[in-house]
Amino acid sequence: TIEDDVIIYSNATLLGAKAIIGARSIIGGNVWITEGVPQDTKVVLKKPELVYIGNHNRSGDLKPVYQQSRRGEKGGENEIC
């Protein structure tokens, strides 16, 4: 059930007959809803974390292929190693 004034962005998936979306809620794109959402709630996807496995260096440690740096540091937000 979708109550009044709900905004649902593209590729959102709502599963289950008991998944009630409360009034004035916002459902972000690519979100999977499997349970009810209270009214006045925003549901968004958290940015996924990339995990790299392999590409070992001489010490046996994993060598990062992609590294996220802090804003304002050399390389901007994201930097390829």
- pLDDT values of the chain reduced to their tens digit, one per residue, 81 residues: 999 999 999 999 999 888 899 999 999 999 999 999 999 999 999 888 877 777 655 555 656 665 555 555 555 444 444
Instruction: Report the domain count for the chain.
Output: 2
pTM of full prediction above 0.75: no
Tell me, yes or no, whether 25 and 1 share the same domain.
yes
Q: Please check whether residues 6 and 36 belong to one and the same domain.
A: yes
On whether both 16 and 54 belong to a single domain, the answer is no
Could you give the C-alpha distances from 12 to 4, 32, 39, 78, in angstroms and in order? 17, 6, 17, 27
Examine the domain organization and report whether 80 and 58 are in the same domain: yes
Range of the domain at 66: 49-81
Q: Indicate whether 55 and 36 sit together in one domain.
A: no
pLDDT of residue 81: 44
Does one domain contain both 38 and 22? yes
Q: Give the pLDDT score at 66.
A: 59
Same domain, 6 and 17: yes
The candidate with the shortest Cα–Cα distance to 31, out of 39, 18, 19, 17, is 19
